[in-house]
Amino acid sequence: MRNIAGRTPQGRTPPAVAPARRSPVTVLTAALAILPLLACPSCKKQEKRDTVATIGVTLLTQQHDFYKDLEAAMRKAATDRNLHLIVHSAEFDPARQTAHVEDFITQKVSAIVICPCDSAGVGQIIRRANRANIPVFTPDIAAEGAAVVAHIASDNVQGGRLAAQTLAKYLDGHGDVVVIDHPEVTSVQDRVRGFVEEMKNHPKINIVDRPSAGGVRDKAYAITENMLQANPDLRGIFAINDDSALGALRAVGDKNIVIIGYDATPEARAAIALGTALRADVVQFPDAIGRRTIEAVAAHLAGEKVDALIPIEVDIVDQASLTTGKKN
């Protein structure tokens, strides 16, 4: 018997076929597959914000007020820019500072900030950082013999000139003076260079010696005592930082000698205000140096162009400016 289309040989209509059921496992797999496509646009932005660049910092010291202020400013600026700082202090020890930088290179930090203990000696370890493609920045003290992205510092040549002008004014343009030096660091080299150059405009003032105290108060005290014995006609002292100035002040006592310091730390300001032999100080702005350093690091990491030299202005404080707001 001939079949009729759509019917079984017995003439019955075939049963409808039920749709296949998907297993729970299949549904779950499909859902997981499309989740990345449904992610919100802000997820990638959040992930980017959570990525924090790490900056290795090795300071000359954490004992001086100048470096305390500089470090505090760097930390604040880094927090504002979501940068993580690892801060160490070499305490004037070049070998310790080299070890700091070696550790930073091993950790593959995003950038390194160095306040060199030895401007010439630090070049070798900076070159190692360069070979590791880690950018280096130097606040306050410059490095020699190696490339850095930016140097951020007071205009120390200007500061030396201001110190010389101020000392010449107090000495009425004549007399023997001593510079308490620290020639291992470039910032001091610049201060002394500015001082010596300016003193050429005062031919009756003689720089009779330039002993180094290494920026340390006790050494400056001992050196000043020796200078007073060796130079009985000494009338003035230029101390390259306030630890040197305060050490010299202890040795000078109430002798009629004029001391000009550098940094204007709170202790030095107090001595100036009291009318001691420490008559004036070149004032730096370490908070500005610290802030501008982190700004330069952040800009460079963001691919922006950064000036190789970022100078910070200096000024003079004396008793009049501290008590009345006006300089002599």
User: What local confidence, expressed as pLDDT, does residue 328 receive?
Assistant: 57
**Mean pLDDT over the full length of the chain:** 88
Residue 18 lies in a domain: no
* 14 located within any domain: no
- pLDDT tens for 110-168 read 999 999 999 999 999 999 999 999 999 999 999 999 999 999 999 999 999 999 999 99
CA distance 101 to 292: 21
The answer to whether residues 278 and 162 belong to one domain is yes
Clarify whether residues 91 and 125 are in a common domain: yes
Decide: pTM greater than 0.85.
no
Same domain, 295 and 270: no
End-to-end CA distance of the chain: 130
Q: What is the CATH number of the domain that holds 143?
A: 3.40.50.2300
Which tokens belong to 7?
């019917």
* Assigned domain for 175 exists: yes
**Is residue 129 domain-shared with residue 218, that is, in the same domain?**
no
Strand order in the sheet with 234-239: 205-209, 175-180, 234-239, 258-263, 278-283, 315-318
The verdict on residue 12 lying in a domain is no
Tokens of 42: 């802000």
Report pLDDT digits (tens) over 12-50.
444 444 444 555 545 444 444 444 444 444 444 444 334
Is 161 in the same domain as 197?
A: yes
101 and 137 share one domain: yes
Residues 63 and 79 in one domain: yes
How far, in Å, CA of 31 to CA of 34, rounded? 5
Neighbours of 251 (CB within 10 A): 20
Q: What is the pLDDT of residues 262-313, one digit of tens each?
A: 999 999 999 999 999 999 999 999 999 999 999 999 999 999 999 999 999 9
Beta bridge partners of 178: 209, 237
**What is the structure's pLDDT at 65?**
86
Residues 89 and 206 in one domain: no
Residue 46 domain-assigned (yes or no): no
Give residue for tokens 């230029």.
238
| Residue 16 in domain | no
Q: State the pLDDT at residue 76.
A: 98
Identify whether 4 is part of a domain: no
Q: Quick one: pLDDT at residue 159?
A: 97
Which residues have CB under 8 Å from 212's CB, separation 6+? 180, 181, 182, 183, 184
The reply to whether 110 and 70 lie within a common domain is yes
Q: Which two tokens stand for residue 182?
A: 């620290």
- 192 shares its domain with 127: no
Q: Are residues 208 and 280 in the same domain?
A: yes
Measured over all CA atoms, what is the biggest interatomic distance in the chain, rounded to whole angstroms?
A: 143
Q: pLDDT tier at 253 (50, 70, 90 boundaries)?
A: very high
Place of tokens 């500005």: 288
**Is 200 in the same domain as 148?**
no
Give the total number of structural domains in the chain.
Answer: 2
Quote the domain boundaries for residue 91: 52-154+286-312
Specify if 126 maps to a domain.
yes
